[in-house]
């Protein structure tokens, strides 16, 4: 594994970790733990006590836990920005023989700049719901671009053969699953935005009643989960057909396991009053799910020797 592949893989892992930290920020209500951007309470290193606050800031709004949760989120974001920059620079080694590695790395570099700018707008607008949604979706896109770049850089070492007839069935199931997963993700963002409206009301209802106040969109979200589960079962079934490699079978089983985890945490969110821990697992789980789905798509397409240009 060369330097580009190592840095890019590290960046993929760091991006998923950033989604996890972002979920912690959301679940703990730490989005405005730092009320300004790019500094935090006017400092590059945030305060640890109210006595360290500069003049002009409301002491009652300072919470050291929320402040440092948001600050760590920003530090992870900066680290990822540096890693993506390094990946982009190292990708120039592929500009002649594997130009798509360079193109996808360059796209990730551009999007991470936009992501940094968008993070500032989220703070400035006081956690605007649709900006938060866009911020999360952009993180998912960056992750997918990096997975693609690493895959293309490593393509010569990948040897997975699937009979074309069986491969077409698995490919169709994977594409269907990806479409349904993104549909479910979009519905989930609508549920979260509705919860944000309730949470930010002057007289916000009790946390355990939030779901009941948004019953319609949540019902659609929960019902649509069946499409993800059924297509996930199809992927698992086709990935275990005779002739499939051990790698394909393992990824198929992992995808099904992640879908079941999403369902279990979703049930917990509904019946247990939106517990923060379940929210964190639910959001981080969908990042892993999308990552494995896209990886399986690339592997199947590669085995069929029909990998499309992106």
User: What's this model's pTM, rounded to 2 decimal places?
Assistant: 0.86
Enumerate the domain spans of the chain.
Answer: 1-157, 161-310
Does residue 19 contact residue 157 with C-beta atoms inside 8 Å?
A: no
Average pLDDT over residues 112-122: 86
> What residue spans of 200-245 are helical by DSSP H?
210-213, 215-239
Q: State the Cα–Cα distance between residues 22 and 69, nearest whole angstrom.
A: 9
Does residue 248 contact residue 160 with C-beta atoms inside 8 Å?
A: yes
Average the pLDDT over each of 3-7, 127-131, 157-161, 246-250 and give the range with the smallest value: 157-161
Helix (H, G, I), strand (E, B) or coil at 40: strand
Band of residue 195 on the pLDDT scale cut at 50, 70, 90: confident
224-253 residue pLDDT tens: 999 999 999 999 999 887 656 788 889 999
Residue 158 or residue 301, greater confidence: 301
Q: State the Cα–Cα distance between residues 111 and 85, nearest whole angstrom.
A: 11
> What residue spans of 59-128 are helical by DSSP H?
64-90, 99-124
pLDDT of residue 236: 94
pLDDT at 307 over 50: no
The CATH code that applies to domain 161-310 is: 1.20.120
């Amino acid at each position: 594994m060369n330097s580009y592949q190592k840095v890019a893989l590290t960046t993929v892992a760091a991006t998923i970790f950033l989604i996890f930290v972002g979920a912690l920020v959301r679940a703990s209500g730490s989005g405005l733990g730092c009320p300004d951007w790019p500094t935090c309470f006017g400092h590059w290193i945030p305060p640890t006590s109210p006595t360290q606050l500069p003049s002009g800031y409301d002491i009652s709004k300072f919470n050291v836990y929320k402040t440092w949760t948001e600050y760590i989120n920003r530090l992870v974001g900066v680290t990822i920005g540096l890693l993506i920059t390094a990946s982009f620079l190292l990708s120039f080694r592929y500009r002649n023989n594997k130009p798509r590695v360079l193109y996808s790395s360059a796209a990730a570099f551009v999007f991470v700049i936009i992501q940094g700018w968008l993070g500032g707008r989220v703070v400035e607008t006081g956690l605007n719901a649709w900006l938060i949604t866009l911020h999360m979706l952009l993180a998912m896109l960056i992750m997918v671009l990096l997975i693609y770049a690493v895959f293309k850089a490593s393509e010569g070492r990948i040897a997975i053969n699937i009979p074309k007839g069986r491969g077409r069935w698995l490919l169709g199931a994977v594409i269907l699953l990806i479409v349904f997963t993104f549909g479910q993700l979009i519905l989930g963002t609508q549920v979260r935005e509705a919860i944000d409206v309730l949470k930010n009301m002057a007289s916000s209802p009790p946390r355990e009643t939030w779901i009941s106040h948004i019953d319609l969109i949540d019902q659609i979200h929960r019902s649509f989960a069946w499409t993800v589960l059924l297509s996930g079962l199809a992927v698992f079934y086709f990935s275990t057909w005779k002739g499939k490699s051990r790698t394909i079978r393992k990824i198929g089983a992992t995808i099904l396991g992640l879908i079941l985890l999403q369902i279990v945490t979703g049930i917990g969110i509904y019946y247990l009053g939106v517990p923060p821990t379940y929210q964190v697992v639910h959001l981080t789980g969908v990042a892993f799910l999308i990552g494995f789905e896209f990886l399986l798509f690339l592997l199947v397409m590669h085995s069929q020797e029909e990998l499309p240009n992106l």
